[in-house]
Amino acid sequence: MTEKGTVFSQNVKQVAFDVEHQKRMMSRYDFFMSVAEDCANHYANIELEKSRAFNIRNKAFKNYDKLLVDFETNIVNNGGIVRWARDAEEAKQLVYDILDDEKAKNVVKTKSTVAEEIGLMSYLEMKKIKVTETDTGDFICYQYNERPSDVTHSAAHKSRKEISETFTEKFGVKEDLSAKQLMIVTRKVLNDKYLNADATITGADFIVADTGDIVMSENEGNVLKTMSLANVQIVLAGIDKLIPSVDDLSVLLPLSSLYEVTKIKAKSIYTLLSGPAKEECDRNKKLYVVLIDNRRSYLMEKEVQRKIFTCIECGACHSVCPVFNTVGGHVYDSAFPGPVGAIVSLSECYENSAHLSTLCASCHQCEEYCPMNIKISDLILQNRIDIIKEDRSLVGEKNVFNFILNRVENRKDMDNKPFFKNFELKQLLKKTWGTHREIPVFAEKSFSQLWREIYGSEE
C-alpha cells in the first residue's frame, strides 16, 4: 500500500468504530432516504429524463475543444475576462494575481468544490489575503480549520452542541444556542463581511457554450449578496462544467435539485450570469472566469472513466454509499469524497487512487439514485483494471490472490488438513483483512473429501 493509502487506513480506524460518528452518519442517511422516497413522483418517466440528462452531458465530450472556445468567445463578448489554468498551482497563482492587481484584501467566497480541490483558501491566507466563506456549512467547517465533509452537507459530521460551543468561544455568544439562533449569528457575522468585501470568489454549476452564461444555484442568498456588493467577481470553473446549450438547463437544473428538501424539488435561487453589470452605476464591476483543467483532460481521454464528468454534484451517490456512511468524508482528504472521488482520483496518479478504487462494495445503490444514470460501479471496476495493468500498486494484493487461486485450483492442496490451510490464510490476510474482523476458516473436510465419502469416487 502507498503512503497515502496507509494514512487513509489509519484515519479510517479512528472513525469507523466511533459510535457517535456512526449515529450522525446514519441520521444523515435516514434523512436522505426520507427525502428521496417520493422523488420519482415528480416525473412522469424519470428514467427517460435521466437518460436525456446523461446524453446532454456526454455529447459535450465529443466537441469539447470547440465548445470551450465558443464559451470563451461569448463571455468575452459579454464583457468578461477569461483566464486558463493547466493545474492547481497555476489556478491559485492566477486568482492571487487578479486580487493583487485589483488591490483586493478582503474577499468573500461562496461554496466551490473546485476551490477546495486546488486548496485556494489556505493559499490566499498564506498570501495575507483574508477570505471569508459565506456558505453556512462551509463557514462552520472553517471555524475548525477543516475542509467540508462532502459537497452537499458540509458540516453534517458536527453536532449542534459542538457548533454552539465553538460559536460561544469565537463570537462571544451565549451557550447552547438552538439551530435557528446559530443561523442568526452566522448571518450577522457574514453581513459585515459582505459590506466590506473588495472581491468575491464563486463556483459554477454549469458554463454554457452557446451563450457564455455561468449558471449558479443556491438556497441561502449568499451568492447574490456577494455578486451584488463586490466590484470584482472571480468565477472558478472546471472545464468539465461545460454544456452545449442554454436549452439543456431545462433538463439539468431540475435533476440537480432532485433531492432538495423543498416540495418543488428545486433550489431557492438560480442565477444566470452573462457578464459584468453594464448599468452606469456599476460600470466599475469586473468579471473574471478562471477555467481549470487540473488533469481533467487526462481523464477525458479515457473512454470509460470520462463519463464521471457528467456528474452534477447532487451528493446522492455518497449519501447512500455504505462505505462513505461508515467512514465519513474527511478521511478521503479530497474535495470529491465517496464514489465519485474514487474515480476522479485516477487523474492524480495510479498509486494514490489504488486504495480508493478497492473500497467499492459493488452494491450499486449509487447507480440506483444517481440522477444522471452514471454506472459508477463500472467506472470503478475500470479503474481497478487500469491500476493493475499499470503494475505500480496493489502488488501485494495481487500476490495474495494469485497464491490463493493456485491453492484452490490444486485439489491436493485443498485436501490438506484444515490447520495448515487456516494457518496459511491467516498469515496472508492478517494485515489486509483488518484487526476488527475474523479471518474466515476452511471447513473440516473439502468438497472432494465429502464426495468420496458419499459416493466412494472422485468422479
pLDDT in the model for residue 233? 94
Longest Cα–Cα distance of the chain, Å, equals: 98
pLDDT in the model for residue 335? 83
Give the residue with greater pLDDT, 174 vs 262: 174
Phi and psi at residue 145, to the nearest 5°: 55, 40
Together in a domain, 55 and 170: yes
pLDDT in the model for residue 434? 61
Domain-embedded: residue 33: no
- Please state the rounded mean pLDDT for residues 130-137: 90
- From 387, 417, 432, give the residue that closes a domain: 387
Domain-embedded: residue 96: yes
Together in a domain, 9 and 122: no
In the beta sheet, which residues pair with residue 270?
217
Q: How far apart are CA 457 and CA 459, in angstroms?
A: 5
Give the residue with greater pLDDT, 336 vs 101: 101
Question: Across 14-162, where does the E strand assignment appear?
Answer: 81-85, 106-109, 130-133
Assess whether pLDDT exceeds 90 at residue 77.
yes
Together in a domain, 84 and 218: yes
Domain-embedded: residue 24: no
| Cβ contacts of 260 within 8 Å, gap of 6 or more | 35, 219, 266, 267
Together in a domain, 12 and 46: no
User: pLDDT category, 230, cuts 50, 70, 90?
Assistant: confident
* Length of the chain in terms of residues written: 459
189: amino acid identity, one letter = V
pLDDT in the model for residue 118? 93
- Give the domain CATH number at 280: 3.40.50.10420
Out of 31-35, 200-204, 264-268, 270-274, give the one with best mean pLDDT.
200-204
Domain-embedded: residue 347: yes
Give the count of domains, the chain: 3
CA distances to 250, 400, 422, 423, 444 from 428, in Å = 54, 7, 10, 9, 20
Domain-embedded: residue 231: yes
Together in a domain, 346 and 407: no
- Give the domain CATH number at 340: 1.10.1060.10
Share of the chain above pLDDT 70, in %: 88
Together in a domain, 89 and 211: yes
Out of 203-207, 324-328, 352-356, give the one with best mean pLDDT.
203-207
106-109 and 199-202 beta bridge pairing = parallel
User: pLDDT category, 27, cuts 50, 70, 90?
Assistant: confident
In which domain, by residue range, is 410 found?
395-455
Residues 94, 100 contacting (CB under 8 angstroms):
no
Together in a domain, 115 and 189: yes
pLDDT in the model for residue 153? 80
Assess whether pLDDT exceeds 70 at residue 248.
yes
Together in a domain, 220 and 287: yes
pTM (2 d.p.): 0.84
Q: How far apart are CA 17 and CA 14, in angstroms?
A: 7
Give the residue with greater pLDDT, 97 vs 157: 97
Together in a domain, 280 and 322: no
Domain-embedded: residue 183: yes
Share of the chain above pLDDT 90, in %: 31
Q: Which of 6-20, 112-126, 195-209, 415-429 has the least mean pLDDT? A: 415-429
Assess whether pLDDT exceeds 90 at residue 94.
yes
Averaged confidence pLDDT in the chain: 84
- From 294, 317, 333, give the residue that closes a domain: 294
pLDDT in the model for residue 351? 66
Residues 387, 2 contacting (CB under 8 angstroms):
no
- From 240, 263, 294, give the residue that closes a domain: 294
Q: How far apart are CA 226 and CA 276, in angstroms?
A: 13
Together in a domain, 166 and 308: no
Give the residue with greater pLDDT, 343 vs 7: 343
- Please state the rounded mean pLDDT for residues 61-65: 85
- Across 326-361, b (16+ Cβ under 10 Å) vs e yields bbbbbbbebbbbbbbbbbbbbbeebbbbbbbbbbbe
Q: Among all chains, which residue has been given the C-alpha cell 458540516?
A: 155
130: amino acid identity, one letter = K
Domain-embedded: residue 201: yes
Together in a domain, 157 and 261: yes
Q: Which of 32-36, 375-379, 391-395, 416-420 has the least mean pLDDT? A: 391-395
Together in a domain, 287 and 309: no
CA-wise closest residue to 380 among 337, 348, 344: 344
